[in-house]
Amino acid sequence: MLEKYLPVLLVLAVAMIFAAVFLGLSFWLGPRRPNAQKNSTYECGIPVRGSTHIRFFVRFFLVAIFFLLFDLEAVFLYPWVLLFQPMLAAGQGIFALAEMGVFVLVLVVGFVYVWRKGGLEWQ
Partner 1 sequence: MEAMYAFFMDTAGMDEMAAHITVAVIMATIMFIVMALCAIIFTWMERKVAGFLQSRYGPMRTGRWHGWAQAVADMLKILGKEDIIPAEADKPYFIFAPLLVLLGSLLAWAAIPWAPGFVAADLDLGLFYIFAVTSLVVLGILMAGWASNNKWALYGAARGAAQMVSYEIPLLLATIPVVLYTGSLNTQDIVIAQQGGVLNWFVFRDPFLFIAFWMYFIASIAETNRGPFDMPETESELVAGYHTEYTGMRFAFFFLAEYANLFLVSMIAVMVFLGGWWSPIPGLDFAPAACFVVKGVLMVFLNMWVRWTLPRVRVDQLMHLCWKVMIPVTLVCVVGAGIWMMASGAVG
26 to 55, contacts with partner 1 by CB under 8 A? 26-27, 29-34, 36, 38-44, 48, 52-54
> Which candidate, 64, 71, 63, places its Cα nearest to that of 119?
63
Q: Is 60 a residue that touches partner 1 (CB under 8 A)?
A: yes
Q: What are the residues whose beta carbons fall under 8 Å from the beta carbon of 62, sequence distance 6 or more?
A: 119
Q: Is 91 a residue that touches partner 1 (CB under 8 A)?
A: no
Distances (CA, A) of 49 to 2, 35, 43: 52, 20, 9
Q: Is 2 a residue that touches partner 1 (CB under 8 A)?
A: no
Q: Is 90 a residue that touches partner 1 (CB under 8 A)?
A: no
Tell me how many degrees the CA angle 18-19-23 measures, rounded to the nearest 5: 120
Q: Is 109 a residue that touches partner 1 (CB under 8 A)?
A: no
Q: Is 22 a residue that touches partner 1 (CB under 8 A)?
A: yes
Residues 80, 92: Cα–Cα separation, whole Å: 13
Among 45, 46, 58, 82, binds partner 1 (CB under 8 A): 82
Binding-residue total with partner 1 (CB under 8 A): 72
Q: Is 117 a residue that touches partner 1 (CB under 8 A)?
A: no
